[in-house]
Structure 1
Amino acid sequence: MWIIYLIAVAFTITLLVRVPDAKWFVRASIGVIAGVLLGALVYFASNLLDLFGADLPPAAGLWAAATLGGIGLAIASFKEAKPWRRVVAAIAIVVYLLAGATGINAAYGLNPTLGSVFGDVEESKVDLPNFNADNRQAPAQPLAQTWQPPANLPSAGQRGSQPIPGTTSGFVARDAGVYLPPAALVENAPALPVVITMMGYPGNPDGTIISDVLDEFAAKNNGLAPIVITADQLGAAGVQDPACADSAKYGNAETYITTDVVNWANANLNVIQDPKYWTIAGYSNGGGCAAKYGAKHPDIFKNVISISGEEFPGSEGVDAATADIYGGDTSAFEASKPINIMKAAPAGTYVGMTAIFTAGSEDPTFSAAATAVSQATEAVGISTTLFLVQGADHGGDAVSGGLTEAFEVLYPVLGLSSGS
């Protein structure tokens, strides 16, 4: 990512190095100051009006100011300039936008490459190992007690992408990220637990953070970790929010995750055929989806992880979600909320379930959401953990810290650590 920053610096120097010109200096000063002030205004207004459902980190505000200040400089450089300088100024605007987007992304720590900021995720396909489909029943004893890692156990897992078609749903999704832990990569590999996870909105099905976290757990547990699918709940464009539901406007996102992705996992991955070993997880928008799908489908998922998740899908635009997803039916929208799904469920529905809710301690909106939903899961008998990642806001630190806590809880539940 540093390359784009260096290019931006080079363009700035090119724009600034010129024969002294008082008029240009005045124009440039006005352009830069106006751009910086506009960036600051956008930052404070977005936090004051809660435009993104969570406060933007200060670094995002600094990048917005720097980006718009640079654009102001470039625009000021057009007037009374030689043709080549106008070309440089035009290109500089694009470079500043790319650098700003990269810097704001880095402030959140969610997309590891410049390509992933713009939707280019997991370029290489991961090879899926062959397995015996008749040998995937729940183990009689925890895997941690019976698994003997071979001498050639890889030191880390593999990740890449795989297309998961919307066979039943018709939903058009981007390729999913897939993580195979070290224990899945050896001959005669054991059937393993599986995690289906989703990222935020806007966002990409990029499984880098969860893969890195699970590589650390695998290193401490003889290569054992869940297989992970980072699925796309938003759709191919990646710019709409289906609110974790089926709808005529945005497609059948819910059926895609709970049917198509589940069926694909069963058909293509060496995963244990028992809901006890299946986890639905997500971050932010995806965390709201995870809470909803866990509440609706305890027959599929006995474990839920919500990392800085929404209290309910559509919470960032209630009116739009009610109109676009539920055709204006307020009752249907209310019934779709995880808390209300659990309240309406018969006694005993959630026996044997585990749920972990985390959020950054400096992320008041999503901390409150985690608290509210965790109280509801506890009320219906789900074994519940609520954890605040100290010092974290709504960015990468909250994701990695939340996932670490979540798997500390789940590893014994899934039979992957000696404490099970």
Structure 2
Amino acid sequence: MDWLLKHPLTSPRVMLAAAIVMGVFALYLLIRPTWKRTLLSIVGAVVGAGVGALVFWWVVDAQNIFGVDLSQVVRLWTIIGFAGLGLAIVNLFKSRWWRKVVAVIAIPAMLATSAVGINADFGAYQTLNEVIGGVKYAQLKDTTGQRGEAVKGTVDYATWRAPADLPQRGQVGQVSIPGLISKFKARAAVVYLPPAALVKNPPVLPVMIALSGQPGTPGNPFSSGHFATMLDEYAAAHHGLAPIVVSPDQLGNPADNPMCIDSKTFGNSETYLTQDVTNWIKANYRVSEDPRMWAVTGFSQGGTCTTQLVAKFPQLYGSGIGVQGQLGPILNNVPNTIAQGFDGSKAAYEAAQPRAIMQAKAPYRDTLLIYGAGTTDHKYTEYARQLHRASLAAGMDSKLIEEPTGHDWRTVQSVFREALPIVAKRMGLDAG
């Protein structure tokens, strides 16, 4: 059973098996004893497909409930799923009992196949284990050798020599980061320690704070974004050196969007990240206090937070990789955002927008912001372009990475793979 829970959902085998199952059910349900009933099945499938197309148009195109442009692949799988649902439903009428049983079984099978297809495009869940309960990480033990030694200034990694006890891969685990100052109720964070952090006498290492989207969990950058794999690959090419990556919970509740600000409605998410999380990292790992050695990265809601934090706190975070973020903190619409997030103050809302923050703090003297966009999500790509222009105007070193993907974790993976060496070199990990 364990192998089934851990088998990749996006693998060709799973996709082929799901397609075959759907095809067998569809063929059986289409072929009826008489041509009239066969025609009824066809009509059911066509009507279902039409309903699916209408639902997708209303939810995504007209109402923009998700706030993102979903791909045509997602649209197609939605239509296919509804077509299968319509086909199964009409087989519940004027049919023998065994056909009714097959139709009932076919309904979840059809919908599950559609979901697998959508997930393969979006890349949110890698295994069934993630779908039913998320990836479970073991509690991360203190393996740094020396705790709480924050060092001022940058570090010369050219003098680092990998010791004999350097492991081949880094370690990912769960930690608790309490909201001592913010009182923010956060879920457990997930941390990646590179090989160089796991030796007896580790070097002082840079830090990257990684933020999920919303809804999301702190483990998403590792389970959906494959960060650990890419960090291990980087470390293998750089004598075990890579940033320590901490993925805290900026949401508190996956259904909430605290917008990485301090508010009466959702709590002090900003203070949690900038003080509680940052202080905890400095107290537990050998890290540099130099902002050039600190970065923030995030996807979607986390991408928006990335821009906010790097723009507002250049004294803390010198770099950012924001993927598919919005122009600024938002809760569906501006009036709702002002009411719930800013206690009814339009002025406070406007001042919290990254572009306004950049204008107020310009010129930035040593800040890098990398924006990542999946070009099939036209709205968020335009957001990235606008923020990129604003960053350049404010004096930042700003880069824009566009990938032929959408608002999904595939975009995160592609952007992070390209941006990691840029940020790591800025941190001094690569002298080449």
Is the TM-score greater than 0.5?
A: yes
Among the aligned pairs, what percent are the same residue? 36
Give yes or no for the alignment of 1:196 onto 2:198.
no
| 2:22–2:113 contact (8 Å) kept in structure 1 | no
Give the partner amino acid of 1:192. Answer: L
1:60-71 correspondence runs (5 A):
60-71=74-85
Q: TM-score, normalised by structure 1?
A: 0.87
Determine the structure 1 residue equivalent to 2:151.
137
Q: Indicate how the Cα distance of structure 1 residues 139 and 337 shifts in structure 2: closer, same or farther if over 3 A, else same.
A: closer
Determine the structure 2 residue equivalent to 1:120.
134
How many angstroms does 1:290 deviate by? 0.9
How many angstroms does 1:369 deviate by? 1.5
| 1:47–1:54 contact (8 Å) kept in structure 2 | no
Give the partner amino acid of 1:40. Answer: A
1:14-413 correspondence runs (5 A):
17=28, 20-22=32-34, 24-45=37-58, 46-47=60-61, 50-79=64-93, 89-117=103-131, 120-133=134-147, 135-138=149-152, 141-143=155-157, 145-205=158-218, 206-208=220-222, 209=225, 210-236=227-253, 238-314=254-330, 316-345=332-361, 350-389=364-403, 391-413=404-426
Q: Indicate how the Cα distance of structure 1 residues 101 and 204 shifts in structure 2: closer, same or farther if over 3 A, else same.
A: farther
Q: Partner of 2:305: helix, strand, or coil? A: helix
| 1:244–1:289 contact (8 Å) kept in structure 2 | yes
How many angstroms does 1:415 deviate by? 0.8
Q: TM-score, normalised by structure 2?
A: 0.85
Q: Which runs of 5+ in 2 are unaligned?
A: 1-8
Superposed CA deviations along residues 63-116 of structure 1, whole A, max 9, x for unmatched, are: 111222222233233335666765654454334444333321220224322343
How many angstroms does 1:357 deviate by? 1.6
* Cα distance in structure 2, aligned partners of 1:230 and 1:67: 35
| 2:48–2:84 contact (8 Å) kept in structure 1 | yes
| 1:279–1:304 contact (8 Å) kept in structure 2 | yes
Q: Partner of 1:281: helix, strand, or coil? A: strand
| 2:182–2:271 contact (8 Å) kept in structure 1 | yes
How many angstroms does 1:204 deviate by? 3.1
How many angstroms does 1:271 deviate by? 2.6
Q: Indicate how the Cα distance of structure 1 residues 182 and 83 shifts in structure 2: closer, same or farther if over 3 A, else same.
A: farther
Give the partner amino acid of 1:364. Answer: H
Bigger Cα displacement from structure 2, 225-234 vs 282-291: 225-234
Superposed CA deviations along residues 31-76 of structure 1, whole A, max 9, x for unmatched, are: 3222222222333442355443332112111211122222223323
How many angstroms does 1:187 deviate by? 2.1
Give the partner amino acid of 1:330. Answer: K
* Cα distance in structure 1, aligned partners of 2:138 and 2:427: 29
Give yes or no for the alignment of 1:414 onto 2:427.
yes
Q: Indicate how the Cα distance of structure 1 residues 193 and 140 shifts in structure 2: closer, same or farther if over 3 A, else same.
A: closer
| 2:84–2:111 contact (8 Å) kept in structure 1 | no
Q: Indicate how the Cα distance of structure 1 residues 140 and 161 shifts in structure 2: closer, same or farther if over 3 A, else same.
A: closer
Superposed CA deviations along residues 6-35 of structure 1, whole A, max 9, x for unmatched, are: 468547746764894336534432332222
* Cα distance in structure 2, aligned partners of 1:147 and 1:231: 29
Q: Indicate how the Cα distance of structure 1 residues 130 and 212 shifts in structure 2: closer, same or farther if over 3 A, else same.
A: closer
Give the partner amino acid of 2:201. Answer: N
Question: Where does structure 1 differ by over 6 angstroms across 4 or more consecutive aligned residues?
Answer: none
| 1:5–1:99 contact (8 Å) kept in structure 2 | no
Q: Indicate how the Cα distance of structure 1 residues 316 and 124 shifts in structure 2: closer, same or farther if over 3 A, else same.
A: same
How many angstroms does 1:338 deviate by? 0.9
Bigger Cα displacement from structure 2, 23-32 vs 33-42: 23-32
Q: Indicate how the Cα distance of structure 1 residues 26 and 304 shifts in structure 2: closer, same or farther if over 3 A, else same.
A: same
Determine the structure 1 residue equivalent to 2:5.
none
* Cα distance in structure 2, aligned partners of 1:68 and 1:117: 21
How many angstroms does 1:4 deviate by? 8.5
| 1:15–1:85 contact (8 Å) kept in structure 2 | no
| 1:359–1:398 contact (8 Å) kept in structure 2 | yes
Give the partner amino acid of 2:369. Answer: A
Q: Partner of 1:327: helix, strand, or coil? A: coil
| 1:11–1:88 contact (8 Å) kept in structure 2 | no
* Cα distance in structure 2, aligned partners of 1:323 and 1:87: 51
* Cα distance in structure 2, aligned partners of 1:267 and 1:50: 43
How many angstroms does 1:117 deviate by? 4.4
Superposed CA deviations along residues 206-235 of structure 1, whole A, max 9, x for unmatched, are: 122222322222222112111111222222
